[in-house]
Chains A and B, each alone.
Chain A
Amino acid sequence: MIRSLFTAATGMHAQQMNVDVISHNLANVNTVGFKRGRADFQDLLYQTIKAPGAPSGEGIQTPSGIQIGLGVKPVAVQKLFTQGDFINTGNELDMVIEGQGFFQVTRPDGTTAYTRSGAFKLDSTGRIVNSDGYPLEPAITIPADTTQITIGFDGRVTVLQAGGTTPVEIGTIEIARFINPAGLQAIGKNLFLSTDASGDPIVGQPGTEGRGLINQKFLEMSNVNVVEELANLIIAQRAFELNTKAVQASDEMLQTSAGMKR
């Protein structure tokens, strides 16, 4: 009897979490390099009351047993690494990776984090850093008298210095690819960390070993599709409501049972 109450509660809990994930996606609809998440659910345990195949008479077996499911559980919030839309910004230090791969930045504690957000800037010493000031890895320093920065598809950075006419190559941007990007750990600030599930980063020059190409003066927008998220929100909210009805019905049944003995 009480079983249905808790079963419906798992449903409400799951839909609540679904709404959390959708809200996070919608909040980041305009975040450069953001990858949307998706809550994945699986059904919970089944309580077997009668095993399928149990004999129901001489030489006869019941074709199906009786199994009562106990609800639903969230199994993963999967990050979907589909490509976001590109917008042309004209800014020399804006980059996108067309295809698979992540920019690498060094965090203050020395560890490497990975990002799809290619909105880079220069710090006071001329290093290329992201919006939080984390330097690009391998570090590239732009000379002070630079008039023009060119970043090639293959990640090579060349600059034109004041008074000069021949471009000077000052470094190469390397990007990292993962076998299972969905296994990366999001830590906020558009950054990801590698985990056991993602596998080790396969670092190298863009355009090799399945890594994407770099495009300068573009930014990759969030891959959140507003219409889809809103449709998901409607479904999640209604599913939540349906489960509250099951809770109410269980409650009413309990009340009825309590009213049985006057």
Chain B
Amino acid sequence: MYKGIYVAMTGAVLRSRELDVVSNNLANVNTVGFKKSTFASRLYPIMEGIQERQAVVYDNARAMATFTGYKIDTMQGAIKNTGNPLDLALSGEGFFGVEDGKGQRFFTRNGSFTLNREGFLVNMAGNYVLDRNNQRIQIEGTEISISPDGNIYVDNNLLTQIKVVKVNNLEHVADSLFTGQEAPDATTEVLQGSLEMSNVNPIREMVGIITALKQYESAQKVIQSFDDLAKRVSADIARV
């Protein structure tokens, strides 16, 4: 009946999705190595393109907002000094490589590591941290020092170099892990005794909440207007 009511509806649905994304960012405002998600919407593509074509299709076109600009923002988070020798932060674009017990590999920026009972370097969920040859790292010794280029020295002997790679086509997996295609990286520095905090900016997220909420309300007003219109048609115009 009224095309517009559906257009407004798509807008409202998207704004609630936006609030979902913002809520997830805020929930992780204190999660080590978390990378926030950003969100953008745009018009449905049928309204774009060649003018003549638009004119032809316009009668049937249904403009609406779609969910397009979802992206993981890999901006650097703040570095916090902890003094714990197995806390590693990355400064730059790289990611640590980890693998689970079945050998499936992931990437992470959460460098809160520890040793397991066999002396393997693992993250808090027990996934093994990998070296540059994709081998698990076993540390036997007491004095562990890690240089900015990722070389691990145990009691002053070079053990191996920790894996730090760039990752393309990043995808969130959960548990602070990502998947994607790895690419070599030579510029990222490993900082021992530090952790990288979440890169969520609370101000930006609060503004996100406000815009999502207000636009949701606007969409609601539009829907109500269509409701009013429909009511007029059925109740007023028809009155004889």
A residues near B (Cβ < 8 Å) are 1, 3-5, 7-8, 10-11, 14-15, 18, 38, 40-46, 49-50, 52-53, 63-72, 75-76, 78, 80, 82, 99-100, 179-180, 182-183, 196-200, 210, 235-236, 238-239, 242-243, 245-246, 249-250, 252-253, 256-257, 259-262
* Inter-chain CB contacts under 8 Å: number: 187
Q: How far is the CB of A251 from chain B (nearest CB, A)?
A: 10
Docked complex Cα distance between A1 and B206 (Å): 18
Closest Cβ neighbor of B37 among chain A residues:
A69
Interface residues of B in 178-232 (CB under 8 A from A): 202, 205-206, 209, 212-213, 216-217, 220, 223-224, 227
A42 and B24 in contact, given A4-B19, A259-B220 (Cβ under 8 angstroms): no
Within 8 Å by CB of A45, from B12, B22, B67, B174, lies: B174
Stretch from B52-60, B90-98, B115-123, B128-136 that touches the partner? B115-123
Closest Cβ neighbor of A45 among chain B residues:
B174
Within 8 Å by CB of A242, from B169, B205, B223, lies: B205
Main SS class of interface, A: mixed
Closest Cβ neighbor of B224 among chain A residues:
A260
Q: Which 9 interchain pairs have the tightest Cβ spacing?
A: A11-B27, A199-B117, A69-B24, A4-B23, A7-B23, A210-B142, A71-B27, A41-B31, A42-B176
Docked complex Cα distance between A99 and B142 (Å): 9
A-side contacts of B145, CB under 8 Å: none
A4 and B124 in contact, given A43-B175, A180-B114, A199-B117 (Cβ under 8 angstroms): no
Contact A68 B24 (CB under 8 A): yes
Within 8 Å by CB of B213, from A43, A196, A198, A249, lies: A249
Within 8 Å by CB of A197, from B16, B117, B217, B220, lies: B117
Mask: chain B, 24-66; 1 = CB below 8 Å from A; 0 = not: 1111111110100100000000000000000000000000000
Contact B171 A65 (CB under 8 A): yes
Q: How far is the CB of B141 from chain A (nearest CB, A)?
A: 7
Contact B27 A14 (CB under 8 A): yes
| Interface flag for B147 (CB, 8 Å) | no
Q: How far is the CB of A206 from chain B (nearest CB, A)?
A: 13
A-side contacts of B28, CB under 8 Å: 11, 41, 43, 69, 71-72
